[in-house]
Amino acid sequence: MYCAISGEVPMEPVVSRKTGHLFEKRLIEKALQASDNQCPVTGEELKPEDLLPVACDLAQRPRPLSATSLPAMMAMFQNEWDDLVVESHATAPIACHTAGVEPRAVPARRRVPGYSKIDEGTR
């Protein structure tokens, strides 16, 4: 059971009476408002009243498709880490200003002994 819009397992699934497609309720409601009540998959007229809730047990959600292999999971974790670092970098000056503290400069990278010799030898 995957949402026809996001491709993810819906938290609050609904199915269309007219097209039979499964959607995440909040996504299809936004899509219908933005497209003047047209189905985002087929383009047919679709009203919020045409959506039926699906009763299912969501005690344990399955993993998203992107987390089914080790390389995909590593890429997903790297993307999350990158987002966290960017967010931390963007909010640090605001937090320092609020606390009345000067932001710290990022220290320069330290040279590893012997690293430059190895680097010069490979050029």
pTM of the model: 0.49
Q: What number is the average pLDDT over the span 80-101? A: 73
The token pair at 40 is 């985002």
| Assigned CATH for 1-62 | 3.30.40.10
Q: Mean pLDDT, the chain, as a whole number? A: 77
The pLDDT value given to residue 84: 80
Spans of all domains in the chain: 1-62, 64-123
123: confidence class by pLDDT, cuts 50, 70, 90:
very low
The answer to whether 10 and 24 have CB atoms below 8 angstroms apart is: yes
What is the predicted pLDDT for the residue at 115?
Answer: 52
pLDDT, mean of residues 1-21: 87
Q: What average pLDDT does range 7-35 have in this prediction? A: 89
Task: pLDDT band for 112, please (50, 70, 90 cuts).
Answer: low
Three-state DSSP class for residue 31: helix
**pLDDT band, very low/low/confident/very high, at 113 (cuts 50, 70, 90):** low
- Rounded CA-CA distance 69/80 in Å is 17
**Residue 115 CB: number of other CB atoms within 10 A?**
10
Least confident of 17-21, 41-45, 70-74: 70-74
Residue 56: is its pLDDT beyond 70? yes
